Each structure stands twice: as structure tokens, then as C-alpha cells.
Amino acid sequence: MSAHTDITPQATFAETPFTRKKRTQELIAKCFFGGMAALMVIPLIYIIVHVVAQGWQSLSWDFLTTNPRLGGAKGGIWSVIVGTLYIVTFSLCVSAPIGVLAAVYLNEYAKESWFTRIVNLAVVNLAGVPSIVHGLFGLGAFVYAAGMGKSILAASLTLAIMTLPVIIASTKEALAAVPRQFREACWNVGATRWQTIRRIVLPNSISGILTGVILQVSRAAGETAPVMITGVAVFKAVEGTGLFLYDPFREQCMALSMHLYFIATQASNVAPSLPFAIATVMIVLVLAVNATAIAFRSWLRSRKKW
Amino acid sequence: MVKPKVQIENLRLSYGPKEVIHGISFDIEPNEILGIIGPAQSGKTSLLRCINRTIEFTAGAKPTGTIRVDGEDIAKMRNVYELRRRVGMVAPLPVGLPLSIYDNVAFAPRAAGMKKKSELDTLVEKCLTQAALWDEVKDRLDSLGTKLSGGQQQRLTIARALSHSPEILCLDEFSIAIDPVTTMRIEDVLKVLKKEMTIILVTNLVQQARRLAARTMFLWNGEIIELGPTEQLFGDKPKDKRTYDYVNGIFG
């Protein structure tokens, strides 16, 4: 028997102390990283279960569809939900078009220069400014200087300023994900930049752009600090339960985030389950918006073409 | 004496502080196939991108000197998109646009304003046939160009370059993603296309230049080492010893 016959397949693939050690390491690493990932889920589940369980008693169809009474201590939250919808919708109408168009300019047209460097610097720094500072800016600029007074308009514009830099950053990222070779192929056959953007770049980045925008919607819906000093009232009695409850240019409104803060900390004679019921509505609204974003994105991704 | 199709005078190109083409001058005759050979980093692709002015999309690139197409200085052309339609370009790596096969080929004519379905249909068929792709895709023109194989995408790229009826066709190592049989088919097409257009063929396969080009240029480090009849460069006695070494594969 010559020596090389020892190397049979069985011998090659047999377990040795070395491979066993490797396998154990692999198992430990997998469990450890998996555990860290699972850790993320626990607070989320706890929050939802806790909030829903505590707020369950106050939740009802009437709660959702009637307006608050007695400073919010009694009645429902319909006008509060509508107020949040107003503020978020108006701010989105301002920040989404400006943000997306600015990002298209920065990513597709602008050449590297001192101007684009300043704009990019401004975007990054604005995104890092605390929301209360945005609120103070809105108070000075929109409420006083522009003479809007405390109003839905001023609050919406403040939120728009707050979400704008993040929308610009996420849109730029989505645009940059479209390979540059596609653009060059278009330019090579004599297409203008705009033709390239319209036919190739935008159709292939729209899912990323919309995801970024929608995530900012849920962020705007949850903010308290910037809106409480620019246009959201602690309590405002309104007539009726339709969708058109407020005059956005003159009136203040109520909003879920502010209402929750007030009911939870300032109001007296409030049922203990009430703040949790409001929180439940907020969570459900934000999760619904995010779920829409995720579903929409996966639908658009399935149509992605490379 | 025929008027040259392209005249290049003292062309220099720098990326930032680094100069990559050091003042080259040469003419390209109408309806010729000019081969350009040379090792990597010698400025072949940059030279082509100067001719259709896509070099302007590279930040920091600064060309100087004059390039004339039909006697007209391209730097002074107002309509650069028209220039790019006149100078077709095929990049080394295939790029199927994320559109259907049909739309890939119809992209340039549409961008130039052609709308009639019947005209587009005829043109798409003609270009795909010329690029030796029609028979393989004629039953699935609606499927995505990006789903084709690498070699098919490269022929799609060639079809797209032909779709705007260029007067000058720049091929930048078009065959690196294609199998030898298809390469030969496209080379046959090029021999026919020569009657309609001027072809600049950048290639790493020196034998390809030998098969197709009447004249060949050896570009090295941004300078023309030798430009002359192909047989001269590939013969026993090119003017420059470096040419001999390069085409015979003993370049140091």
C-alpha cells in the first residue's frame, strides 16, 4: 500500500478536532448575532402590547369619530386626527417637491463646485439640527416675521423645513443607486440630461425616492416640539366631524402628538386609559404609513429592470 | 486629395493636474476603418470621448487643441447632442438600458424626435440586423434588454449606436464580451458599414486591427508612436521598434 491511498473521501471529510472547533465557533457567533437582532424586536412588541392593553378600555368607534370635550378629558379625538392630517399633508406638499427637485439638481446636473459643496454641507447640518430648534426658527420666521401667526400653515412650513434635508439626502441616495453607465449610454446617443433623467434615472429610482419621502411623513406626524410653538393648540373646540374642520391659513389646530403630551401630563380628571388610547391611534397610523411604504417599495422593486 | 472626415490638431487632455494625451495630431479619412491599438492607460478611450464631447461629463477633464468634424470645430458646435448623434460610440462593456429591446434601439431616434411607429419599426429591425442580433430577439422585442446575455447586450449596444445613423462610429474594444463567432459576424458587418460611415476601431486584439483596418495607429502613454498603413505596422519593419515589440507581444 502506498501512502497516498490514505486520502480517501472518508478521510478527507471526516470530523477532526479542528473542524469541530470551527463549527462550535460558528454556532456561538450565529446565536450571539441572532440574539442581538432579536433584542430589537422585544421593545417594539412590549410597547405595542403594553400600550394597546392599557388603552383598550377607551378605544371605541365613538372615540375615533367624535370631537374632544372638556379640554380633552372627555369625548373622542376626531378633530385631533384631522389636525395631524392637515399639518402632515401641507408640510409634505412643500417638502416633497422641493426636496426631490433639489436632489435631482444636486445629483444629476450640478458639477462639483463651491456652491454644491455649500448646499451639501447645509443639507447634512440641517438634518442634524434638533427639532425644537426648527420650531424656534419657525416661530421667528413664519409666525412673527412672515406674519402668519400661530397657524396650521406656519406649523406645516416648520415641519417642511425639518424634513426637507432628510428627503434631499434620501432622494440623492436613490438617484445615485442608478448605475452611471446607464447615463453615459444615453449621453452617447445624443440624449439630453433631462431625457436621460425622465426615461432612465427617475423610473429606476422612484421606489427609493418614495420610501424616503413616506418615512418622513411618519416622522412629521410624530413630532411635538416644532409644532407646539408654531401652530398646534392644546385644545380647540370645533363644530362638526367632517374633514374640513380648520382654516389652514388662519387657524390653529389640534394634533395627536401634542394632545397625547397634554393629556398624559397636564390634564386632570382623565381616565388612565385615555393617553394609551391616543398612543395606540398614533402607533397604528405611523405603522400603517410605514407598511404602505414597504408594500409600495416591494411592488416597485418587483418591476425594477436590472 | 479627399477632405478628411476628422482632423485632430494638437489635442491635449488632462484630468486635473495629470496630462494623459500629450498633443497629438492626425486626420481620419472618410469611409476608412482606422485601427487604434495600444496598452491600457494609453489614452485610447479618452481620445474617443473627446471626439463626441462626452469627456465633458468627467469632472476635472480639460481638453485643449482642435477637433474638426467635416471641417467644423466641435468645441464651437452649439448643438452638442447633434454631434453625439453624428459620432456613434460603443463602450467596452455592454450596457443594456433598463428598457425593452425595442425601446433600447428606439431610444436615440425618439430622443431626436422620431415618433412614427412604422419608421421606428423599420429602423429597429435594420439596426438589430446589422448588429447580428435580429434573428435571436425578433420574437421577444418586448422583453428587457438587461435580461439578455452579455454578448447579446453588446450587440444591442452596437444596434443602439447605429440607430442614430452616425457618420462616424467609434468602437471601443467592442469584442471583449463577445464570442469569436459573433465577433467575426460583426467584423463582416463593419466591412459593409464602411461604405456608409467612418469607423474608428479601438482594440486590444491587435489581429483585429490587422483584419479590418486600412490604417492603424499605435498610441502609447498619450502619444502617437506610429500611424501608417496597417501592413507597415504589422510587417517586419515598422518605423518604430516599440511598435514591432507591441504587435509581436514582447512589449516590456
The tens place of each residue's pLDDT in chain A, 306 residues long, gives 445 556 677 777 777 888 889 999 999 999 999 999 999 899 989 999 999 999 988 888 888 888 888 877 788 888 899 899 999 999 999 999 999 999 999 999 988 889 989 999 999 898 889 999 999 999 999 999 988 888 999 999 999 999 999 999 999 999 999 999 999 999 999 899 999 999 999 988 988 898 899 889 888 988 888 998 898 888 887 877 777 778 878 888 888 999 999 988 887 788 888 999 999 999 999 888 888 888 888 888 777 655
The per-residue pLDDT for A302 is: 78
The per-residue pLDDT for B1 is: 62
* Type of residue numbered A54: Q
CB B163 within 8 A of CB B124: yes
The per-residue pLDDT for A294 is: 84
What grid cell was written down for B216? 492603424
A165 Cβ neighbours under 8 A, 6+ residues apart: A122, A123, A124, A126, A127
Residues in chain B: 252
CB B138 within 8 A of CB B39: no
Question: Sheet containing B72-73: which strands, arranged edge to edge?
Answer: B18-28, B6-15, B61-69, B72-73
CB A55 within 8 A of CB A280: yes
DSSP state of A41: H
Alpha carbon of B85: minimum distance to chain A alpha carbons (Å):
5
d(CA A9, CA A15): 12
Of B45, B51, B50, give the one whose Cα is nearest residue B61. B50
What are residue A108's phi and psi, to 5 degrees? -105, -35
For chain B, percent of residues with pLDDT exceeding 70: 99
B chain contacts of residue A181, beta-carbon cutoff 8 Å: 91, 93, 95
All domains of chain B in start order, with CATH: 6-246 (3.40.50.300)
The per-residue pLDDT for A211 is: 87
**Cα nearest neighbour of B79 on chain A:** A190
d(CA A105, CA A92): 19
The per-residue pLDDT for A28 is: 95
CB A196 within 8 A of CB A107: no
B chain contacts of residue A207, beta-carbon cutoff 8 Å: none
Does the beta-carbon distance from A184 to B160 stay under 8 Å? no
Q: Is B101 left (phi over 0), alpha (psi -120 to 50) or beta?
A: alpha
β-strands B6-15, B18-28 pairing: antiparallel
Q: Is B211 on the interface with A (CB under 8 A)?
A: no
CATH number belonging to the domain at A78-302, selected among 3.40.720.10, 1.10.3720.10, 2.170.270.10, 2.30.110.10: 1.10.3720.10
Query: Would you tell me which residues 98-127 of chain A have a C-beta closer than 8 angstroms to some C-beta of chain B?
Result: 111-112
Does the beta-carbon distance from A199 to B93 stay under 8 Å? no
The residues that bridge with B69 in the sheet, in sequence order, are: B6, B72
Report how many Cβ contacts below 8 Å link chain A to chain B: 74
CB B8 within 8 A of CB B217: no
The per-residue pLDDT for B251 is: 62
Does the beta-carbon distance from B98 to A188 stay under 8 Å? no
Does the beta-carbon distance from A306 to B81 stay under 8 Å? no
For chain B, the average pLDDT equals 89
Does the beta-carbon distance from B95 to A195 stay under 8 Å? no
Of B214, B159, B160, give the one whose Cα is nearest residue B189. B159
CA distances from B196 to B17, B169, B175 (A): 40, 10, 21
pTM for this prediction: 0.82
Query: A208 in helix, strand or coil?
Result: helix
What are residue A231's phi and psi, to 5 degrees? 175, 5
CB B212 within 8 A of CB B187: yes
> Which sequence spans correspond to the domains of chain A?
78-302
Q: Which residues of chain B have pLDDT under 50?
A: 252
Q: Is A305 on the interface with B (CB under 8 A)?
A: yes
* Type of residue numbered A75: G
What grid cell was written down for B76? 464651437
Handedness of CA A38, A43, A44, A45 (dihedral sign): positive
